[in-house]
Structure 1
């Protein structure tokens, strides 16, 4: 079925033109009939029908819980769903104890009237930006040219594909190094990574707690605003704050983010910048030595995500379970064994200093704009055939977005035209920590201009 936004579905549901039960049956049928059966890892048919029936009753009685009432959604396979094991994209957790209750944000969106239809695929244990999963299969990027299977991006691979394919209007992902923004850019949808700590993390399987954040993949910034409010337990009825493009100030970072970028990526980004400037936005370009310093720090001391992932998975990757895991995930996680406590503490201390320096470099009201990724989604098979290519591509894919996690910024990836082979390109708007409300308003203005 053609993709529909939350806003489009909400108008139909609230007016009575669309029944929540009919919508959930349509959604379940679309999932079952879709040619790519690797997108969903679990379909919650019984739960979805019960929630849709409850939504129908509330609407009929004039007790709608708001704009999200009756709207279907999917969850990355990291969020606890009561009565089911949380497998985190890995077969080694398939026999783990069922969750005793929903994750906090799952409860929050259920309380807003939303209908959970399933959990979607991901990179195993969320430890890759490519979205390849040898256990559950790798979802095909819907924008792939005919006859090609291009990567969906990760780690929230199923979330990006489920939304782009029109199976659900929104899917909730996690973002530790770009795992919301990367699949959003590769699949041509909107991806909002909130400031770390904006939402309750109870019941979310971690990767690296010092970096983990959450956010929706959806079709519009307005949809993201509604989901953001509901995930925080606030009424999801607010209209996106409107700001004039002519009142906005953007900084284009000249450090790291354009290195090795495909010409088509740069061309699409520069065309967007030109449109912003012609509409009256202030745009300046500036070097950010903090960006380069992050990678120098990782080269000296190792990456925070690798250190924390190693501690989390040490028993698995050094025991029998490793044989049932993606060997690339095992190999990458084992690198954390070499990161000492002194290295880890030195990185945390440097992180504070670099974050302060970066924030001070931004003027009042400044937001960063950059390409979300330096390349479009590549084909899957060459990455499976060549391990060195896999790791090199993974590192390049994560490069631009991981800067934001390290510096604890919030960001929205917006569709920004197409690049090589007609594949989607993303433009990333980022703001300093806790500037989420302003960021969403700015992203909405950019979205409106870019169309």
Structure 2
């Protein structure tokens, strides 16, 4: 771990700060030093040193005067580089945006956590325009997965730097966005917790979009408790009050179709072992088929992906101009596929989506849904950089499980549940239908220790 403060959970660090065992200035300086000393320079695209130290001094003053803003006061946080930071140009992982105008104000969620007393440390790396689940970026570099001990492995995307920054112990929490899995995938690959909120739970003002019908966001952190605390602050709650739900009595459905197709044996073994532990403590586990999963894949095959259609509409001018020459060729190729989706196709996707959401809500009800966050562990970087065909196939497989939840407007929490091939982390994804964030967070809070098993 790079430094002791960055390697702590939000709750652990908060206890030290609120009891005056450490000062926010000391914490911030140590975190900045840890980032400076970390060998992988691709994790951050910018360090907000001056802002962080100024915010730390204000936090320190508040605490000394007995005016703490709550349990997050003085806690460092990193931001995926598509959240607007006042006075800085938001790159969204692309050099073609790097010379654009500086943001005139913080993104709404940045402002909300600043109001809670959190300290913005820096901006983290990401897949260009957030359009990949792998985390590779040819412009700013690809952060290496800190869990890998054999060969450099992908961090997962698109919130690649956010996942690595937390997993490497550089910061206790980082914010990401999730359009097809971009919070839950890096959380699973790096062995940390990732919470994807229901779309619309938080304001998206000042967040660079990918596909507005699918875009959501959430924290990458060490524990579910940390995610609960961040969620409360983002909703303006004075303090987190969500209770943990006991494992006994939890009703969990496990899909038998799609999500295990092509899954690595180690992933399945870790996931099933976690289910056994939950069942042993009284959780009800029911295996079912969710026909909507096959329907979603069928819609994508027939009409193209919803995310691709909306991404093409957003980036059409860039893709048809000279700027495309300066973009990641794989992002360009994938985004241009959206041109094939006609207006009637797009409307057909939206119409089918609403029907499937209703069908699944009727089928699942108040039960939670569990399956592996990703069907494989983080693969090596080098072969993916060298082979476009392998890149696209792996990207599709990586995104498959999580994107089902985005299409159905679910919320979800990825919790580490063991290790798979090459001793790499495996994540268990616990999801619920739209708007049941408290239910899934409460369940994850109560089940986290059981799901983790022998993991520390």
CA deviations over 1:387-423 (Å, ceiling 9, x no partner): 1000000000000000000000000000011000110
2:259 to 232, 247, 257: 257
SS at match of 1:393: helix
Pick one of 113, 131, 135 that aligns with 1:131.
135
2:197 is matched with which residue: 194, 198, 201?
194
The alpha carbon displacement at 1:229 in A equals 1.1
CA distance in 2, matches of 1:12, 1:378: 37
Q: Which residue of 1 aligns with 2:270?
A: 268
Partner of 1:373: 374
Pair 1:56-2:57 in alignment: no
Alignment partner of 1:225 is 2:216? no
CA separation in 1, counterparts of 2:278 and 2:16? 33
Give 1:315's match in structure 2, choosing from 311, 314, 317.
317
**In 1, Cα distance between the equivalents of 2:172 and 2:234?**
16
Give the TM-score, by structure 1 length. 0.98
The aligned counterpart of 2:417 is 416
Match runs of 1:321-360 below 5 Å: 321-360=323-362
Cα distance in 2 for partners of 1:392, 1:162 equals: 27
| Counterpart position of 1:286 | 288
1:429 and 2:433 aligned: no
Please give the TM-score of this superposition, normalised by the length of structure 2: 0.97
Runs of 4+ in structure 1 over 6 Å off: none
2:168, 2:118 → 1: CA distance? Answer: 20
2:148 alignment counterpart: 144
- Listed as ranges, the gaps of 5+ residues in structure 1 are none
Q: Deviation per CA, 1:172-225: give whole Å up to 9, x if none.
A: 000000000000000000000000000000000000000000000000111001
Render the CA deviation track for 1:316-353: whole Å, top value 9, x for unaligned.
Answer: 11111011100000000000111100000000000000
The answer on 1:70 being equivalent to 2:74 is yes
Q: What is the aligned-residue RMSD (CA, Å)? A: 0.7
Is 1:178 aligned with 2:219? no
User: 2:196·2:217 contact (CA, 8 Å) conserved in 1?
Assistant: yes
Distance (whole Å) between structure 1 residues aligned to residue 449 and residue 381 of structure 2: 33
Distance in 2 (alpha carbons) for counterparts of 1:357 and 1:78: 34
SS in 2 for 1:117: strand
Q: Could you tell me which of 24, 29, 32 is aligned with 1:28?
A: 32
Q: Give the Å deviation of 1:434.
A: 0.2
> CA separation in 2, counterparts of 1:448 and 1:435?
21
Q: Which residue number in structure 1 is paired with residue 89 of structure 2?
A: 85
Aligned residue for 2:248, secondary structure, equals helix
> What residue in structure 1 maps to residue 391 of structure 2?
390
CA contact (8 A) 1:181 1:193 kept: yes
The Cα of 1:448 is off from its aligned counterpart by 2.4
Q: Deviation string for 1:107-140 (max 9, x for gaps)?
A: 0000000000000000000000000000000000
Give how far 1:240 is off.
Answer: 4.2
Alpha-carbon contact 1:246-1:279 (below 8 Å) kept = yes
Cα deviations by residue, 1:151-186 (Å, 9 ceiling, x for unpaired): 000000000000000100100000000000000000
CA contact (8 A) 2:242 2:438 kept: no
Report what 1:403 is aligned to: 404
Which residue of structure 2 lines up, in the alignment, with residue 156 of structure 1? Answer: 159
Q: Contact 2:415–2:451 (CA<8 Å) still a contact in 1?
A: no
CA distance in 1, matches of 2:284, 2:278: 8
In structure 2, list runs of 5 or more residues that go unmatched: none
Conserved? CA contact 1:222–1:239, under 8 Å: no
Q: Tell me the CA shift for residue 239 of structure 1.
A: 4.4
Structure 1 CA distance for aligned equivalents of residues 281 and 134 of structure 2:
35
Partner residue, 1:211: 214
